[in-house]
Amino acid sequence: MKKYADLSPSPRIIMTPGPVEVDPRVSRALSYPMLGQFDPEFTSLMNETMEMLRDLFRTANRWAFPVDGTSRSGIEAVLTGLIEPGERVLVPIYGRFGYLLAEIAERCGAEVVTIEKEWGSVFSTEEVIAAIDREKPSIVAIVHGETSTGRLQPLAEIGHACRERDLLLVVDAVATIGGLPVETDEWKLDAVIGGTQKCLSVPSGMSPLTYNERVEARLLKRKRIERGIRPEGYSDSGEVSFIRSNYLDLAQLQDYWSPLRLNHHTEATAMLYGLREGLRLALEEGLEERFARHRLNERALMAGLEAMGLNLYGDPACKMTVVTCVAIPNGVDGEAVRSQLLADFGIEIASSFGPLKGRIWRIGTMGYSCRKSNVLLTLAALEAVLPLRGYHPVAGRSVQAALAVYREGAGQDE
């Protein structure tokens, strides 16, 4: 019989836009004993998780819970629930994940209209509003933080414009939640999808999301319930355009997350422990303090990269704090550098997608990975590896530049 070795993944320093390192307290939570899905101890953990998610999303929405599946399952749940065949959906695209929104909307039968912005920049509010007024969609779906290009799309004014026109605004905040402000209520976002494996530093496998009563009204209109578990007196809405997914049916899932506890799938017990612990840690740190930590490490990283003479990619005015994109210097084999960082230093940085593949590296500073020692080690390792690949930074400068930012940052905190 074939023997397999003990599972023993190498410890890594993960400086990518996800998945990132997990706080040991989250790992510990993942290993706790099972509870049954209707055990009152477990359902109270579900309720606490909802409460914490409301704080994270800065919302008073009743509905804030995780969908089981990676972040795109949350995106798919929202779009499948909202989009009826032939519905006009506007997707402003400024990177890879905008295309994902458009693709999912299309699969839901939407008549998708897109506007595109050159990668490395974001839309002005006016551009999005002009497209809304021209195309007359009923739903707008947009990415908040584009991990593929490291850009951040401001949403407050777009949110208000959508609300004034009575459109629904769906936001992919997978990469930003827990690392940058996401003001669901203040910005008038109707549905927001977050992620676990990025700034929350929980393994991938859940998609926390929230939506308001405007979205809920649509879901209820399209609701169906399995005959086998129907509460007495329930009958389906007469709607022919009922929600086409069972697993991702938010109208059913919200019953499972309500005091009704109407059975749907079996909640992912261990993942819920992990998410609850990740949320607890984020709220204990304080969201403002957490955002400030991400900004400080970003500044130190950028100072170090620039001291090496490397060029940052993209419009600095809309740079997302938690991802820093670096132009790969001419003549340098970007993949060889990444491989050596991993093999010799145990450090992982990312490449990018589509038109940016081979042109930039992406360095994430997210969640538990976002700390001083990681930033300094990454800079030192890059500085050591680059000369072997034909690029000669001035040795020793970059770590000093980053350290100077940290010293200054410590001064500011006092």
Ligand X SMILES: *Cc1c(COP(=O)(O)O)cnc(C)c1O
Stretch that binds ligand X, among 111-119, 139-147, 222-230, 263-271 (CB under 6 A): 139-147
User: Residue 113 region, left (φ>0) first, then alpha (ψ -120 to 50), else beta?
Assistant: beta
User: How long a stretch of residues is the chain?
Assistant: 414
Contact between 297 and ligand X per CB under 6 A: no
Q: Which of 97, 273, 313, 361 binds ligand X (CB under 6 A)?
A: 97
Stretch that binds ligand X, among 168-176, 227-235, 265-273, 365-373 (CB under 6 A): 168-176
Stretch that binds ligand X, among 65-73, 178-186, 252-260, 403-411 (CB under 6 A): 65-73
Q: Position of tokens 């990740």? A: 278
Q: Of 175 and 399, which CB lies nearer to ligand X in the complex structure?
A: 175
Answer whether 390's CB lies under 8 Å from 331's CB.
yes
Q: Of 20 and 375, which CB lies nearer to ligand X in the complex structure?
A: 20
Min CB(258)–ligand X separation in Å: 26
Q: Of 77 and 129, which CB lies nearer to ligand X in the complex structure?
A: 77
Answer whether 113's CB lies under 8 Å from 86's CB.
no
Contact between 195 and ligand X per CB under 6 A: yes
Q: Of 97 and 368, which CB lies nearer to ligand X in the complex structure?
A: 97
Q: Of 187 and 391, which CB lies nearer to ligand X in the complex structure?
A: 187
Min CB(271)–ligand X separation in Å: 13
123 contact partners, CB below 8 Å, separation of at least 6:
92, 94, 115, 117, 153
Q: Which two tokens stand for residue 247?
A: 């697993």
Contact between 352 and ligand X per CB under 6 A: no
User: Residue 390 region, left (φ>0) first, then alpha (ψ -120 to 50), else beta?
Assistant: left
Q: Of 272 and 401, which CB lies nearer to ligand X in the complex structure?
A: 272
Fill in the amino acid letter for 413: D
Answer whether 268's CB lies under 8 Å from 206's CB.
yes
Q: Residue 258, exposed/middle/buried by CB under 10 A (0-12, 13-18, 19+)? A: middle
Q: Which of 59, 71, 80, 201 binds ligand X (CB under 6 A)?
A: 71
Contact between 143 and ligand X per CB under 6 A: yes
Alpha-carbon distance values, 51 to 66, 210, 225, 280, 358 (Å):
12, 11, 26, 11, 43
Contact between 155 and ligand X per CB under 6 A: no
Torsion of CA 379, 385, 391, 396, to 10 degrees: 50
Q: Which of 204, 241, 258, 351 binds ligand X (CB under 6 A)?
A: 204
Min CB(370)–ligand X separation in Å: 15
Helix (H, G, I), strand (E, B) or coil at 207: strand
How many residues touch ligand X under the rule CB under 6 A: the total is: 13
Q: Of 70 and 212, which CB lies nearer to ligand X in the complex structure?
A: 70
Contact between 147 and ligand X per CB under 6 A: yes
Cα–Cα dist 400/394, whole Å: 11
Answer whether 34's CB lies under 8 Å from 43's CB.
no
Cα–Cα dist 66/275, whole Å: 9
Stretch that binds ligand X, among 46-54, 70-78, 254-262, 359-367 (CB under 6 A): 70-78
Q: Of 80 and 340, which CB lies nearer to ligand X in the complex structure?
A: 80
Q: Which of 78, 132, 174, 251 binds ligand X (CB under 6 A)?
A: 174
Stretch that binds ligand X, among 29-37, 172-180, 325-333, 347-355 (CB under 6 A): 172-180
Q: Of 349 and 381, which CB lies nearer to ligand X in the complex structure?
A: 349
Fill in the amino acid letter for 398: S
Contact between 18 and ligand X per CB under 6 A: yes
Contacting positions for ligand X (CB under 6 A):
18, 70-72, 97, 143, 145, 147, 172, 174-175, 195, 204
